[in-house]
Chains A and B, each alone.
Chain A
Amino acid sequence: MNTFSRTLLPALLVLFAGCYKDEVDTGSLTNNPFDPEYVGPSVFEMQGTSVQVTFIPGIGNVPQQVVEFRVRNELFLSDVTYSVLLKDLGTGSTAELRQAVAGSHGYSYVRDTIIEQVPACLELRLSNNFSAAKAEVICATL
């Protein structure tokens, strides 16, 4: 009985304590910005919109609206690469924006149509391997 109470019993108690190990609650796993069920602060941050004039040979100067935003990489749970799927809700056009420089999280979207006094809204998603995360919409008014 002494051997049992001194060695076996504590071992069994430790062992059975493991039975009550907290299980993984998948419902609480929502803080990864790449998760389609992501819940948390906005991943995309509007930087602003402006008009730029681009010279196109044969056509001349063409005004374009530039929408600048950044991905809040500080929300990422690990250091990763990614692309951004963009849908212009005003024109319906789509694009996939890649990181121009590794470590850079600022993006610019150039639309040929300039609409003033109307918010230019973009639906944005983080993407990898042809699958997209939760969509967010950001808007900027020229």
Chain B
Amino acid sequence: MLLGTILVSARSVAQSTGQVRLLMEPAGTTSYLLDNEHRMVQRELNLLEGPHRFVFWAPERKMLDTTITVVPDRVTEVRIVLRYAEEYISYRDDLRRYERGHGLVRHVPAVVAGAAAIWAGASLIRWGKADRTLSDAEEAYITLADPGDIADLKGKRIPDAKQDFRNARAQFIVASGVFALSAGATWFVRERAKDRQPPTYEDKERIRFEGLTGWNEGPGRAGLLATFSLSIR
């Protein structure tokens, strides 16, 4: 740290300095490598006049290698916008596809099974009602003493009730079959989905960026970065 300060001060004797103000996007996470030596995050810094190489990088973004020329006794404002890395865009698309597919796989069969269960329940209730109607009609035969009513009962009411009973029973069988199939499909799909791993993202730009400085980010290193930056200003 002390050596760095001395170097800058010694060179300042011969050259003037200028201020560089960096407007970086993304704002909070962009760091840069200055003149192939110093990894920094400061937005404003005083530098010796002349060209300086900056390599900007932020997580998930593509590195930007550029030269900024410092004008003495002036503030040079530079706006830096880092574009997303192709790998990240591809990863994001893959992740979106995975999440959409995962959501569909998890929820669609469950929704179908739920709807089928409701349908089966409603069919069961209808079947029960049809059964009671049929039983009532059967019992009515015993109590009726009106020949016309008996003829109507045997010719219309009981056949209609039987048809309703058969329809309700068939509907229940179909609905419960759909429910069983969809419940099985839900279980099967969820079991299969457990094996599917979400896509992972490897920030290759970060590796390249850190390779430029031999920097490995960590708690100790982060402290060193802050200390060095302060000494420059």
Contact = CB atoms under 8 A, between A and B. Distances in A.
B134 A78 contact: no
B147 A23 contact: no
Given A34-B147, A37-B154, A131-B148, A23 B162 contact: yes
Interface size class of A (residues with CB under 8 A): 20 to 34
A29 B146 contact: no
A73 to B, nearest CB: 11
B56 to A, nearest CB: 58
Contact of B146 (A12, A19, A76, A129): A129
A78 B141 CA distance: 10
Interface residues of B, number: 26
Contact of A23 (B127, B146, B151, B165): B165
Interface string A18-37: 11010110100100101111
Interface string A99-126: 0000000000000000000000000001
A24 B169 contact: no
Contacts, number: 69
A128 B169 contact: no
B147 A131 contact: yes
A81 interface: yes
B158 interface: yes
A128 B144 CA distance: 10
A79 B19 CA distance: 114
Given A19-B169, A24-B134, A36-B151, A81 B145 contact: yes
A21 B135 CA distance: 11
18 contacts: A21-B131, A24-B162, A26-B159, A29-B154, A32-B150, A34-B146, A35-B147, A35-B151, A35-B154, A36-B150, A76-B145, A77-B141, A126-B145, A126-B147, A127-B147, A129-B149, A131-B146, A131-B149
Given A12-B176, A24-B162, A26-B158, 16 more contacts: A15-B176, A23-B165, A24-B134, A29-B141, A32-B150, A35-B150, A35-B154, A36-B147, A76-B145, A77-B141, A78-B143, A126-B147, A127-B147, A128-B145, A130-B148, A133-B147
Interface of A: 12, 15, 18-19, 21, 23-24, 26, 29, 32, 34-37, 76-78, 80-82, 126-133
